[in-house]
Structure 1
Amino acid sequence: MSIWRGQQKLILASQSRARKMLLENAGLDFEALLADIDERAVQANSGLAAPGAIAGLLAREKALFVSRQKPRQYVVGADQTLALGQRMFSKPAGRAQAAEQLRALAGHVHELHSAVAVARDGTVLFSDVSVARMSMRRFTDAEIEAYLDQAGAAVTTSVGAYQLESLGVHLFERIEGDHFTILGLPLLSLLAFLRGENLLAV
């Protein structure tokens, strides 16, 4: 039995496997839909430079895009950015770019900014951004190649070319931040908002 009390299903404006898993594990009754927006164009047109602000904007735009198609339903949008100092990273286009990203990140601390937003009927009702600090260990080119061999195509599905919940855990020596932020969805603040809307039984 779901703990969701809404009259209609919650909508997740994402096809992210990790985000769907988090909502499923939390016992929410939801439907996942793709937010078909041009993220790079939205970012470029915004003039924003701060990684957290960009993640927040994209989460809101995704929620708004889907909420306009789903009247009266609560829609969750989410986004994540990765920054090493002033340099922002995107999902690598292939193995060579994944290797380049890993060389740049090795031995340094980078930040993951994860944003969530909830919209209903074309209005943003809630948004939040959380940060995790990720200390990647130093490793050799041979270790990078071995990691890429094992991880396969999965390295192109997330920024930084890693998934911490999988083989990416081998790349790190220290992590500061909660598990949900790292997976791309500030779940605790989202649940607190939904609880405040009387949408959860717990």
Structure 2
Amino acid sequence: MEKIILASNSPRRKEILGKFNIHLRIEKSSVDEKVNEGDIPEQVAMALAFQKTLDVAERCDDGGIVIGADTIVVKDHHILGKPANYDEAFNTLKKLSGTYHHVITGVAIIKANTYKKVVFYEKTKVKIKDLSDDDICNYINTNEVWDKAGSYGIQGIGSALVESIEGDYFNVVGLPIARLSSILRKDFNIKLI
């Protein structure tokens, strides 16, 4: 069985892939995530995923399939990153309150020591409930907002903030596993199930 290397230190991505009967290894990428104002969100997500995956693939002398991903939150064509402080988290959640936004995950798959690669993105529409300032403060105080694009995590306490989603739930968590599974089977002859 070909080994899978996850080019991510994300516990959420590790948990999703860890459910399957595969030989999984984690190799953190050292790529700095830089986003420029005005960049097209889908291209940003795919470019960051590819950079992370390539960084790890170039270190895999023993081969394997390297998978990397990058998840971004987009509201009104603006990318909402991970909050650096309390005020950023509050302002981000205030912007999302009572409205729709998109979660875009770029995914790159590279067969190490070859030129074979596939890069794609998945997009999910999410609506956040109307949140009072108290709701926002209480959620920030759970400490779940840190290291999360858009300042919330749908798989945790943040699930109580989400009114609805249109699309892949696991994409919002950080890895669109249904589409990834199809591409691994079709292009790399790897079956997750």
**TM-score normalised by length of structure 2:** 0.91
Q: Secondary structure at the match of 1:26?
A: coil
**2:150 alignment partner AA:** G
Q: Quick check: 1:88 aligned with 2:79?
A: yes
Q: Quick check: 1:76 aligned with 2:90?
A: no
C-alpha displacement of 1:124: 5.0
CA 1:69–1:183 in structure 2 vs 1: closer, same or farther (change >3 Å)? Answer: same
Unaligned runs of 5+ in 1: none
Q: Secondary structure at the match of 1:83?
A: strand
Q: Deviations over 1:82-139 (max 9, x none)?
A: 1101211110012221111101111110000011111122635112111110111111
Q: Deviations over 1:25-83 (max 9, x none)?
A: 1232211111101211xx44xx9711111101111111111000003221101011111
Task: Name the residue aligned to 2:117.
Answer: 125
User: Which structure carries more helix by proportion?
Assistant: 1
Q: Secondary structure at the match of 2:145?
A: helix
Contact 2:83 2:145 in 1 (8 A): yes
Task: Name the residue aligned to 2:18.
Answer: 24
Runs of 4+ residues deviating >3 angstroms:
none
Q: In the alignment, which of 8, 15, 36 is matched to residue 14 of structure 1?
A: 8
CA RMSD, aligned part only?
Answer: 1.7
Task: Name the residue aligned to 1:189.
Answer: 179
Q: For 2:101 and 2:192, how far apart are their aligned partners in 1?
A: 37
Q: Quick check: 1:102 aligned with 2:93?
A: yes
**TM-score normalised by length of structure 1:** 0.87
Task: Name the residue aligned to 1:142.
Answer: 134
Q: For 1:101 and 1:17, how far apart are their aligned partners in 2?
A: 23
Task: Name the residue aligned to 1:65.
Answer: 55
Q: For 2:123 and 2:25, how far apart are their aligned partners in 1?
A: 26
Percent of counterpart pairs with the same letter?
28
Contact 1:115 1:184 in 2 (8 A): no
Task: Name the residue aligned to 2:30.
Answer: 36
CA 1:148–1:78 in structure 2 vs 1: closer, same or farther (change >3 Å)? Answer: same
Unaligned runs of 5+ in 2: none
